[in-house]
């Protein structure tokens, strides 16, 4: 489990690691923690799996990856884990989740995200994925993103005792 | 323009960013450049927004409560509804997608009760039903993003 100090650490990290010689010491100063303790806590959060990774978060759009497709499939529930695990192995897949169905209007339960430089490339990759994972038999929809109204990156608002509204990350 | 140093920083440090007292110096040593060069290159990547930040990617559903929400909004009302939704501080991403369900946003909150309160408020204010799609299982192991620098 995480404690309040972990929460504050995660919150401060939303602004990004400072680009200075001793960044963890600088973060520690803001929390009254030693450099060592910051590093130890981050190491533990990674080991516990609460932090999936610590590192460079690339801005896909700026890197020229302007086509973004959310692909949804209706797969049998008992196969979702197996298929999800398989889909996640492909380098061009960025996310893969199971979510609840909503009856006939939205029967899909498996989601994945594919970022590509253009629509054609994304569709080619999707064809390859469908063929490789044997997904052709399942109904699906492809939802390309159009307009972005709000984007705060992988922003998590962590509420500690003193709840604060954070600025955009 | 991206230099070869920029590209190495973008590709090699999404996953294994050093958790040492002097991470930038460690990176510099492994790439055979100076710490100053690495600091300057990261400043450039930040300023030119090639990276969002050097940060933590948190496993979903471990901290607070969150859900993906979809709404089906008539085209002519989409912009105004999207603007209302975006004003809620709990709303993270908010995107238009090509579908009958054309507005997709992620809500993040301290707990499920507050999350439901926000969703009810959004439904009331916009007049549209919110389809809740919380995460049931996460299959993705986030190893960062493979960048293709060609073309």
Is the CB of A79 inside 8 Å of chain B's CB atoms?
A: no
Helix (H), strand (E) at residue A116: strand A110-116
Q: Is position B82 within any domain?
A: yes
Q: Is position B13 within any domain?
A: yes
Q: Is position B147 within any domain?
A: no
Residues B43, B69: one domain?
no
Q: Is position B143 within any domain?
A: no
Query: Is B139 in Cβ contact with A96 (below 8 Å)?
Result: yes
Other C-beta atoms closer than 10 Å to the C-beta of A69 total 21
Query: Is B59 in Cβ contact with A52 (below 8 Å)?
Result: yes
- Residue A22: predicted pLDDT: 98
Is the CB of B84 inside 8 Å of chain A's CB atoms?
A: no
- Residue B98: predicted pLDDT: 96
Residues B71, B22: one domain?
no
pLDDT tens, A11-22? Answer: 888 889 999 999
pLDDT tens, A87-140? Answer: 999 988 988 999 999 999 999 999 999 988 899 999 999 999 999 999 999 999
pLDDT tens, B108-151? Answer: 888 899 999 999 999 999 999 999 999 999 898 766 677 777 65
- Residue A152: predicted pLDDT: 67
Residues B69, B108: one domain?
yes
A143 CB neighbours in chain B (<8 A) are 97-99, 101, 104
Query: Is B147 in Cβ contact with A63 (below 8 Å)?
Result: yes
CA distance A136 to chain B (A): 20
Residues B73, B115: one domain?
yes
B62 CB neighbours in chain A (<8 A) are 2, 50
- Residue A38 φ/ψ, nearest 5 degrees: -60, -45
Domain tally for chain B? 2
Q: For residue B16, what are the domain limits?
A: 4-47
Q: Measuring CA to CA, how many Å separate B114 from each of B65, B110, B111, B121?
A: 9, 7, 6, 11
Q: Roughly how many angstroms between the first and final C-alpha of chain B, as a whole number?
A: 14
- Residue A11: predicted pLDDT: 84
Q: Nearest to residue A109, comparing CAs of A143, A68, A140, A132?
A: A140
Is the CB of A74 inside 8 Å of chain B's CB atoms?
A: no
Query: Is B19 in Cβ contact with A39 (below 8 Å)?
Result: yes
Name the DSSP letter for residue A79. Answer: H
Query: Is A98 in Cβ contact with B135 (below 8 Å)?
Result: yes
Q: Nearest to residue A156, comparing CAs of B58, B68, B113?
A: B58
- Residue A81: predicted pLDDT: 96
Is the CB of B113 inside 8 Å of chain A's CB atoms?
A: no
- Residue B111: predicted pLDDT: 86
Percent of chain A with pLDDT over 70: 89
Concatenating the DSSP letter of every residue in B63-114 gives SSEEEEEEE---HHHHHHHHHHHHHSTTEEEEEEESSSS-EEEEEEESSHHH
Q: CATH number of the domain at B81, please.
A: 3.30.70.3460
- Residue B142: predicted pLDDT: 65
Q: What is the mean pLDDT of residues B82-91?
A: 94
Q: Is position B98 within any domain?
A: yes
Name the DSSP letter for residue B130. Answer: P
Q: Is position B81 within any domain?
A: yes
If 0-12 CB within 10 Å is exposed, 13-18 middle and 19+ buried, where does residue A15 land?
middle
Q: Is position B149 within any domain?
A: no
Query: Is B56 in Cβ contact with A19 (below 8 Å)?
Result: no
Q: What is the mean pLDDT of residues B23-34?
A: 98
Q: Please tell me the distance from the alpha carbon of residue B50 to that of residue B46, in angstroms, as a whole number.
A: 6
Q: Roughly how many angstroms between the first and final C-alpha of chain A, as a whole number?
A: 25
Q: Is the pTM of this model over 0.80?
A: no
Q: Nearest to residue B65, comparing CAs of B19, B122, B114?
A: B114
CA distance A113 to chain B (A): 10
Residue with the larger pLDDT of the pair A1 and A56: A56
Q: Is position B100 within any domain?
A: yes
Q: Please tell me the distance from the alpha carbon of residue B21 to that of residue B11, in angstroms, as a whole number.
A: 22
Q: Please tell me the distance from the alpha carbon of residue A37 to that of residue A43, in angstroms, as a whole number.
A: 10
Residue A158 · residue A10 · CB < 8 Å: yes
């Amino acid at each position: 489990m995480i404690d309040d100090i972990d929460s504050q650490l995660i919150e401060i990290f939303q602004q990004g690691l400072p680009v200075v010689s001793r960044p963890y010491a600088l973060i520690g100063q803001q929390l009254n923690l030693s450099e060592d303790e910051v590093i130890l806590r981050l190491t533990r959060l990674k080991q516990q799996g609460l932090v999936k990774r610590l590192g460079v978060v690339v801005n896909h759009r700026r890197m020229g990856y302007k086509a973004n497709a959310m692909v949804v499939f209706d797969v049998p529930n008992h196969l979702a884990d197996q298929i999800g695990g398989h889909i996640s192995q492909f380098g061009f897949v960025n996310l893969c989740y199971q979510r609840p169905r909503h009856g006939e209007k939205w029967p899909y339960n498996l989601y994945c995200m594919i970022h590509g430089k253009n629509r054609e490339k994304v569709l080619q990759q999707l064809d390859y994925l469908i063929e490789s994972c044997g997904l052709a038999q399942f109904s699906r929809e492809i939802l390309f993103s159009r307009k972005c109204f709000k984007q705060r990156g992988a922003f998590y608002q962590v509420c500690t005792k003193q709840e604060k509204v954070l600025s955009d990350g | 323009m991206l230099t070869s140093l920029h590209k190495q920083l973008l590709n090699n440090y999404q996953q294994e960013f050093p958790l040492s007292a002097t991470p930038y110096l460690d990176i510099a040593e492994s790439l055979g450049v100076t710490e100053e060069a690495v600091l300057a290159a990261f400043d450039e990547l930040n300023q030119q927004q090639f990276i969002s930040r050097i940060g933590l990617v948190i496993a979903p559903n471990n901290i607070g409560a969150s859900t993906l929400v979809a709404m089906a909004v008539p085209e002519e009302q989409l912009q105004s509804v999207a603007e209302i939704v975006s004003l809620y501080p709990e709303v993270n991403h908010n995107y238009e997608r090509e579908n009958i369900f054309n507005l997709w946003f992620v809500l993040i909150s301290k707990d499920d009760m507050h999350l439901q309160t926000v969703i009810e408020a959004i439904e009331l204010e916009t007049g549209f039903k919110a389809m809740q799609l919380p995460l049931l299982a996460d299959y993705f192991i986030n190893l960062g993003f493979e960048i293709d620098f060609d073309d």
